[in-house]
Amino acid sequence: MSQYSRKFNPNDKRNKGGKAPPLPNMPGSTGSFGSPGGGGTPGSSTSSVVTRPVTHAIARPLFMCKPYVNSHLLKGNFKTIVVLPKHVDKGEWIALNTFEFYEYLKLFFGVVFEFCQHCKSMSAGPGTDYYWLSADRKPRPLPAAQYIEYVLTWINNRLTDETVFPTRPSNALVSVPGQTQVIASPQAGQAGQNWIGKEAGFPVGFYGSCQAIFKQMFRVFAHIYHTHFDKIVHLSLEAHLNSFFAHFIMFSREFELLDKRDLEPLQPLIDSFDEKGVFQGLKQGA
Amino acid sequence: MYNSGQNQQGMFGQGQAYYPQQGGPGFNPQQGGNPQNPQQQMLLDQPNSFAINNPSNGSSQQRPRTAGSLSSAPRDDDYVTIVRDASSYQPITRERATACKLKVELFYKQNVQHALERNQRRNESETRLQSDPRMSEERKNRQRANLGHQESQFLRLRRTRMSPDDFHTVKVIGKGAFGEVRLVQKKDTGKIYAMKTLLKTEMFKKDQLAHVKAERDVLAEADSPWVVNLYYSFQDSIYLYLIMEFLPGGDLMTMLIKYEVFSEDVTRFYMAECVLAIEAVHKLGFIHRDIKPDNILIDINGHIKLSDFGLSTGFHKTHDQAYYQKLLDKAQAPSAPKTSDRNSVMVDAIHLTISNRNQVNTWRKSRRVMAYSTVGTPDYIAPEIFIHQGYGQACDWWSLGTIMFECLIGWPPFCAEEAHETYRKIVNWQESLYFPEEIHLSHEAEDLIRSLITSADKRLGRNGAEEIKAHPFFAGVDWNSLRNIDAPFKPQLKSMTDTTYFPTDDLENVPDAPAVAAMRAAQQQGLQPPGPGEETGLPFIGYTYKRFDQLNRHGGF
């Protein structure tokens, strides 16, 4: 790897709360990991980012190096698969995409699992570590594999929670031929309000849940990029990962699912995608 | 297959050396394949074009660089070269990488496809609305909202994890070496379907994956009235599940057992429908290869549909070349039974069948049992399939000829007591094809049969179905309205789950295939069955399927 000197991470020290799953009381217990069924909102517990000062200039991370940074499975305008299709419910669109990002992110984690087992911390580059907030609200460092498994379990619990991501043809939605849809409980109490996915039967907190999920999914991306990208290259998966990540970012931009500050660990990569026009479609032979 | 740790067969190309999409100065884009290969693109309509690049495939080689380009071109500072080598990684990791790659490629392919189809549906709906000047704007908007609602429901369906628990079994209506077919009712909608279950381990072991995938593909792609509709396919760690349209009329085999022979008029109807059905399958680019009376199903109105593009009966085991060869060798070996004497066998078999209709039916019944077995019957298979030759679509027309023979004569032309005798007869069809004198056939009928049961290079239909349609036997058939006319036999049904036309009594006497039985026993004991784990899921990538219009389609009835 060429020693390209470049300051990669800002030196500011941050420790901020976010929306994240709580640490299960007993690691490995099969019980109610994550906020128990429907009770807590996704924002009720937090994890944190610890950024340590980086005193020396650091090497350019591999994922920022050519040719890998320019390797893509997809070309063309991501809008084709990102923008809300006409007449389609926004909640259903976000729900399906969240579900799919989760499914495929899980695959990438599965690929690096062999190596991730040796990761001592959930790092996202020199200076950035993600901590898990335990039940007593204390930030705890966790081995990355454990952190990610918690995250994936937590997301899975959300996605399979019918009160957050309903899948059954809901009784709330009664489609009367030739007439408009009648919406009954559980939304009846909030008749005045409006929220994403309301008409399709998603709860008030649905969008917030998705934001929390996206935030955690981003961290998994960040860890894979910063720690396991060489393995990804050896396994010839970088084009797939880059495109999948670009899709993820494009989608989260379109529906404002990620906070700009959370993107920092991979901001240079995102900038490079922007610079190269990855989101709008690579020009032929560019 | 995909069962090794290495990716040998990518989705979009094979074995290309890696090379970046935007090669730096050090790269020579003439080598390693063209990433812009138009065949591999899935472009959507302009301007929102979006496509899948030729992915870097599982090759671990670094694309070779010429010395000239190294010295002549200055390189970026941020240029890094890694010689890809994953050989020290755990096999499971390499396998996961392959699976990940294939799944992601399929995901984007399908994603683009979904967008495309969604656009099509919207455009069609919009065109319809525009062309109706009498419709009020309000009504049009309601229709648009309706389509949006359907699209939204489909999105929901796509993230719904389906399981066999979503269905309630009404009755087992078929058994095979790899699983069974049940009449089921979807719990939430009450709709009736046929559910085919296939044991993954067996499919994997018996090398049936290409077949099951082909079946899934045909069923999913065909939006044809001649092909059984597939509504969903899904899987768990043990089984593959196909949720298909239930055709209450049974199949042609059952009908032949009941009626023994058909008149030429009735035969003409079924053969004409089969011609259109086979033509439809061929137009999709598939070869059925296993057209036989058991696979010709009868719908609620008495019209036919083709099923079994895989191996519900486990029959495709016999498509294995080595297996055929063994049977042929057995038939020709000096140590084979005395009946391998060519003349005596033929005479013997024919006398046996002609002399007693009851015996024909006994043979048919035993054939039904055989249909449930691993081996199945080779009666309808074209010779080119199991001698070492390539075969094409014409093999399906041979099968049609043998079925037509059976409809008119009462037994298939090459039937014999033992499968290997049947093989021998088929290979030597010139000598063994025999029309019994006491059964009268019209000249046209016999001529059509003879022009179908003939060598592939002379066979009628080799240049397309039109040839067959033009045969004098079909004179007077209105090919365009065939499916709308009254069928000769219309099923009389008492209820939507009536299985009168499925002789399930026989089924009780059919033991489960050993693998199916073993799995069932393990499950009953509450053991975690030794099903394929996550990793053997690799070959089943792309199996899962959901049909857009399953919601408003006449699924069940």
Taking the domains of chain A in order of start, what are their residue ranges? 151-165+198-286
Q: Is B104 on the interface with A (CB under 8 A)?
A: yes
Enumerate residues 6+ apart whose C-beta is below 8 A from A111: A231, A232, A235, A237, B93, B96, B97, B100
Other CB atoms within a 10 A radius of the CB of residue B514 amount to 11
Nearest to A122 by CA among A148, A144, A139: A144
Residues of B in contact with A95 (CB under 8 A): 155-156, 159
* Average pLDDT rounded to a whole number, residues B455-471: 95
pLDDT value at residue B495: 83
Q: Of residues B14 and B252, which shows the higher confidence score? A: B252
Residue-wise pLDDT tens digits, B415-431: 887 778 888 999 999 99
The angle at the Cα of A114, spanning A110 to A117, to the nearest 5 degrees, equals: 105
Question: What does R_g of chain B's alpha carbons equal in angstroms?
Answer: 27
Residue pair B296/B308 in contact (Cβ under 8 Å)? The answer is: no
The percent of residues in chain B predicted with pLDDT above 70, rounded, is 61
Nearest Cβ partner of A76 from B51, B97, B118?
B51
Give me the residues paired with residue A141 across strands.
A131
The confidence score (pLDDT) of residue B7 equals 34
Q: Do B80 and A235 touch (CB under 8 A)?
A: no
Q: Do the Cβ atoms of B80 and A99 come within 8 Å?
A: no
Q: Tell the residue number behind the tokens 């939006």, with chain if given.
A: B223
3-state SS, residue B72: helix
Helix (H) or strand (E) holding B139: helix B137-158
Confirm or reject contact between B144 and chain A (CB < 8 A). Answer: yes
Hey, is B365 helix, strand or coil? helix
Q: What is the pLDDT of residue B548?
A: 65
Whether B290 is catalytic is: yes
Q: Which chain A residues contact residue B158 at CB under 8 A?
A: 96
Residue A222 has pLDDT above 70, yes or no: yes
| More confident of the two residues B9 and B127 | B127
Question: Is there a contact between B252 and B270 (Cβ–Cβ < 8 Å)?
Answer: yes
Asked if the model's pLDDT at residue B328 lies above 70, the reply is no
Out of A178-192, A200-214, B505-519, which region has the weakest mean confidence (pLDDT)? Answer: A178-192
- B369, pLDDT greater than 90: no
Name chain A contacts of B59, Cβ cutoff 8 Å. 236
Which helix (H) or strand (E) segment holds residue B244: the answer is strand B239-244
Domains of chain B plus CATH, in order, are 1-14+35-61+85-159 (no CATH), 164-248+511-550 (3.30.200.20), 252-492 (1.10.510.10)
B373 pLDDT more than 60:
no
Q: What pLDDT shows up at residue A46? A: 44
Residue B445's pLDDT band, with cuts at 50, 70 and 90, is: very high
Q: Which amino acid is at B483?
A: R
Is pLDDT of A175 > 50? Answer: no
Q: Which two three-digit tokens encode residue B199?
A: 């044991």
- Indicate the annotated binding residues of A for Zn(2+): 116, 119, 223, 228
Question: Number of Cβ pairs closer than 8 Å across A and B?
Answer: 205
Mean pLDDT value across chain B: 72
pLDDT at B419: 79
Looking at residue B209, its pLDDT comes to: 58
pLDDT of residue B239: 86
In tens, the pLDDT along B333-368 reads: 444 333 333 322 222 233 333 334 555 656 666 655
Question: Chain A contact for B20, CB < 8 A?
Answer: yes
> Per mean pLDDT, which of A220-224, B59-63, B123-127, B552-556 is the most reliable?
A220-224
For residue A221, the distance in angstroms to the closest alpha carbon of chain B comes to 15
Predicted pLDDT of residue A190: 59
Q: Among all residues of chain A, which has the CA nearest to that of B535?
A: A110
Mean pLDDT of B386-402: 84
* Percent of the residues in chain B that have a pLDDT greater than 90, as a whole number: 29
Using CB atoms within 10 Å of the CB of residue B264, give its burial: 0 to 12 exposed, 13 to 18 middle, 19+ buried: middle
Q: Which residues of B touch A201 (CB under 8 A)?
A: none
Residue-by-residue DSSP string for A10-34: -----EEE---PPPPSSTT--S--S
Angle A238-254/A267-276 helices, nearest 10 degrees? 90
Average pLDDT over residues B317-346: 41
For the ranges A111-125, B147-161, B376-390, the lowest mean pLDDT is seen at B376-390
Residue where the block lists tokens 């297959």: B1
Helix (H, G, I), strand (E, B) or coil at B408: helix
Residue in A with minimal Cα distance to B50: A76
* 8 Å CB contact of A230 and B82: yes
| Distance from C-alpha of B141 to C-alpha of B169, rounded to nearest angstrom | 41
pLDDT single digits (tens) B62-73: 444 333 333 344
From B217, B251, B290, B379, active-site residue = B290
Q: Between B211 and B343, where is the model more confident? A: B211
From A53's Cα to the closest Cα of chain B, the distance in A is 24
Contact (CB, 8 A) for B218 and B282 = no
**Single-letter residue type at A285:** G
Give the CA dihedral B12, B13, B14, B17, nearest 10 degrees: -110
CA distance B64 to B58: 16
Task: Report the chain A residue with the minimal C-alpha distance to residue B166.
Answer: A168
ipTM of the complex: 0.81
CA torsion B470-B474-B477-B480 (nearest 10°) is -50
What would the pLDDT profile of B137-179 be if each residue is shown by its tens digit? 999 999 999 999 999 999 998 898 888 999 999 988 877 767 7
> What element of type H or E holds B235?
strand B230-235
Q: Out of A89, A230, A244, whose CB is closest to B152?
A: A89
pTM over 0.90: no
Identify any residues that bridge with A174 across adjacent strands, giving them in sequence order.
Answer: A182
- As a whole number, mean pLDDT of residues B507-531 equals 63
Which pLDDT score is estimated for B266?
95
Contacts of B37 in chain A (CB under 8 A): none
Least reliable range by pLDDT among A55-64, B471-480, B521-530: B521-530
End-to-end CA distance of chain B: 39
Q: What share of chain A is helix, strand, coil (3-state, %, to 5)?
A: 45, 10, 45
Q: Give residues with Cβ within 8 angstroms of B435, minimum separation 6.
A: B409, B441, B446, B449
**Residue of A238, A224, A257 whose CA lies nearest to A82:** A257
Separation of alpha carbons B76 and B544, rounded Å: 45
Model confidence at B374, pLDDT cuts 50, 70, 90, reads very low
Do the Cβ atoms of B103 and A178 come within 8 Å?
no
> Any chain A CB within 8 A of the CB of B84?
yes
* Cα–Cα distance measured from residue A275 to residue A269, given in angstroms and rounded to the nearest whole number: 10
Q: What is the pLDDT of residue B289?
A: 79
Instruction: Give the whole-angstrom CA distance, residue A105 versus residue A152.
Output: 9
For residue B547, the model assigns a pLDDT of 64
In this structure, of A213-222, B220-229, B485-494, B527-536, the range with the lowest mean pLDDT score is B527-536
CA angle centred on B16, ends B13 and B22, rounded to 5°: 100
Whether residues B18 and A234 touch (CB distance < 8 A) is answered with no
Judge contact between B222 and B281, C-beta under 8 A. yes
Higher confidence at residue B37 or residue B383? B383
Four-way CATH pick for A151-165+198-286: 3.10.20.600, 1.20.140.30, 3.20.20.70, 3.90.1170.20: 1.20.140.30
Residues contacting residue B70 through CB under 8 Å, at least 6 positions apart: B26
The winner for highest mean pLDDT among A222-231, B201-210, B300-309, B526-535 is A222-231
Residue A252's Cβ-count burial label (10 Å; 0-12, 13-18, 19+) is buried
Q: What pLDDT, on the 0 to 100 scale, is given for residue A54?
A: 63
B24 touches chain A (CB under 8 A): yes
Question: Cα–Cα distance between A62 and A233 in angstroms, integer?
Answer: 9
Q: Which residues of B touch A64 (CB under 8 A)?
A: 78
From A18's Cα to the closest Cα of chain B, the distance in A is 27
